[in-house]
Amino acid sequence: MILAKYSTLLITTLLGIGLGGGFSLARAQERTPSVCPPPVLSRLVRHRVSAGETLESIARAYNLIPATLMGLNPVLRSGKAPVGTEILVPPFNGIRVELGSNQSWREVAKQYGVRPDALYEVNGCQSAPKVVFIPGVNWSPVASPGQSPSTQFTRILAGYPLPMQPSQSAILLSYGWGVQPTTGEVGFHSGVDLAAPVGTQVLAVGDGTVAFAGNQGAYGQLIVINHREGLQTRYAQLGSIQVKVGQVVKQGQVIGTTGTSGRPSLTQPHLHFEVRSRSSLGWVAENPETYLLQNIPRPNQATR
């Protein structure tokens, strides 16, 4: 699925890469004769800030989000772009991460929910890099995208979005970078797709207030719920919506039913579920599995 416009601009301006869109390794390989493209960090463009330019205008010019530029350039983290400053610009959204002395790039891939082969390729197929570029991860001044949520946060989102027990469900498509079933290309998936027959009740995973309820492009019929401590959950590709904007909901309350609206990433019936956290840069996608989906089984790739 490709990230669509959202009426309150919570999705389009600062979230980066959405459901199934983003950087395509296949397209990148079409532009270079080598099997592995040069490392992303060797392809940074130097940009000198001119009078009248802003952080937002520079990001737009390079088809990036401001968070990407702020992560690579500390001078921009005040939100301003000083005239005359030379900044580094990557070819696509992501963050720069230095590896620890005993840390491998495979461990970094696992920490950030990125497919190891995707991380390996975008970093030039280096066997032992000291610094890597993590595609599709939004830099945040609040917390590391790979950081595990606190117990306080997991209490806020203590439910499950489907009426069956987690052990009776399955993750058909995980969060993060990987091969997208509908395109065969490597792309970023900003949530998880949970197996569920069409018409299955969808439940709020925590107490909160409905921030959006309606049709939203690739998301299809979408419900967005804001929770305490800057957490947000999203329930997409629904068949029906049973709440309205501004309504206060309780954990376990039925908010809609599963369906096939929008542009699903899979042909199998499922619920697309997301967890996001709020920062000064917008709503940043988090891995739902670190909050409430740790022990859900996954079918073999062939069943997708």
Distances (CA, A) of 7 to 12, 214, 236, 281, 284: 9, 10, 15, 17, 17
Burial (CB < 10 A; 0-12, 13-18, 19+), residue 295, is exposed
Residue that wins the pLDDT comparison between 25 and 96: 96
Least confident span in 3-17, 95-109, 261-275: 3-17
Q: What is the DSSP letter of 124?
A: T
Spatial CA neighbour of 232 closest among 157, 145, 152:
157
Beta bridge partners of 260: none
pLDDT value of residue 235: 97
pLDDT value of residue 256: 97
Mean local confidence (pLDDT), 4-28: 35
Q: Read off the amino acid at residue 31.
A: R
**Cβ atoms 162, 202 nearer than 8 A:** yes
Residue that wins the pLDDT comparison between 221 and 107: 221
Contacts of 143 (CB under 8 A, 6+ apart): 277, 279
What are residue 208's phi and psi, to 5 degrees? 180, -170
Structural domains of the chain ordered from first start: 25-135 (3.10.350.10), 151-303 (2.70.70.10)
| pLDDT tens digit sequence for 138-165 | 776 544 444 444 455 557 888 999 998 7
Most confident region among 21-25, 114-118, 147-151, 258-262 by mean pLDDT: 258-262
**Distance between CA 194 and CA 204 in Å, rounded?**
14
Spatial CA neighbour of 8 closest among 271, 282, 286:
282
Q: Decide: helix, strand or coil at residue 256.
A: strand
Residue that wins the pLDDT comparison between 62 and 3: 62
Residue that wins the pLDDT comparison between 294 and 247: 247
| pLDDT tens digit sequence for 187-203 | 678 889 999 999 999 99
Mean local confidence (pLDDT), 107-122: 84
Quote the pTM value.
Answer: 0.55
Mean local confidence (pLDDT), 12-41: 49
What are residue 167's phi and psi, to 5 degrees? -70, -15
Element (DSSP H or E) covering residue 64: none
| pLDDT tens digit sequence for 49-105 | 999 999 889 988 998 888 889 888 888 877 888 999 999 999 988 888 888 778 888
| pLDDT tens digit sequence for 203-245 | 999 999 999 999 998 899 999 999 987 889 999 999 999 999 9
Percent helix, strand and coil across the chain, each rounded to 5? 20, 30, 50
Spatial CA neighbour of 224 closest among 262, 232, 84:
232
Residue that wins the pLDDT comparison between 29 and 247: 247
pLDDT value of residue 241: 97
**Distance between CA 177 and CA 111 in Å, rounded?**
12
